Amino acid sequence: MNVLGVRYTSFATILVMTVFAMVLGGCAKEQTWKADTKAPEISVLDMNDETVKLSDFRGKPVVLRFWATGCKACVAGMPKLDSISKGYRDKGLAVLAINMGNPKALVEVFARGLKLSYPVFLDPALIAAKKYGVKSVPTTFFIDRDGAAKKVVVGEITQELFDKTMIDLM
């Protein structure tokens, strides 16, 4: 029984990891995000299981940050993003952290521990991540007030890069 349980657990783990890799890998032609075009509409879940759409933030510049709890750079960079983006909040900036596929309970613990001033959302089936062609985390997208995609940054963001990008968004 234990041996069988281990085999099924290992098989299930490998299966989940394979599906996750396939979804993230995707095809380049499936990516719908392209600079200077309308940012793709996405729907994600907030921590109360309510659906939130990107279009809910129309009229505001938006920073979408895709992340995962198993990504050390993501977790370390989220408070940094919080800090460097605070100066733009009074100008209407909306920062949205979108978790990719982690269980809600785990995401809640991480978000609470990080004490972020921006909201954390869930993309349990990785639909939003696939629409934006996210292949690694952290990946951050900048969208202007009119909903036009402006810039994507894979990896961490410096204050200098953030400030320079914000000039185009404001």
Pinpoint the alpha helices (H) of the chain: 2-25, 72-89, 104-114, 127-131, 159-169
Residue with tokens 């996750």: 20
pLDDT by residue (tens digit) across 120-150? 999 999 999 999 999 999 999 999 999 999 9
The helix or strand, by DSSP H or E, that contains position 121, with its residue range, turns out to be strand 120-123
Per-residue pLDDT, 34: 80
In the predicted model, what is the mean pLDDT of residues 89-99? 95
pLDDT by residue (tens digit) across 16-70? 443 343 334 333 344 567 888 899 999 999 999 999 999 999 999 999 999 999 9
Comparing 32 with 9, which gets the higher pLDDT?
32
Amino acid at 47: M
Compute CA distances 95 → 9, 42, 48, 88, whole Å.
Answer: 37, 15, 18, 10
Per-residue pLDDT, 111: 92
Q: Which of 88, 64, 78 is nearest to 113 (CA)?
A: 78
Give me the numbers of helices (H) and strands (E) for the chain, helices first please.
Answer: 5, 7
Q: How far is CA 170 from the centre of its chain?
A: 21
Q: What is the residue extent of each domain of the chain?
A: 1-26, 31-169
Q: Which of 154, 124, 131 is nearest to 142 (CA)?
A: 154
Per-residue pLDDT, 14: 39
Amino acid at 22: M
DSSP secondary structure letter of residue 91: T
**31-169 domain in CATH 3.90.550.10?**
no
Average pLDDT score over the chain:
85
Query: For a pLDDT cut of 70, what percent of the chain falls above it?
Result: 81
* Confidence check: pLDDT of 155 > 80: yes
Cis amide prior to 138 (ω within 30 degrees): yes
Per-residue pLDDT, 1: 44
Per-residue pLDDT, 129: 97
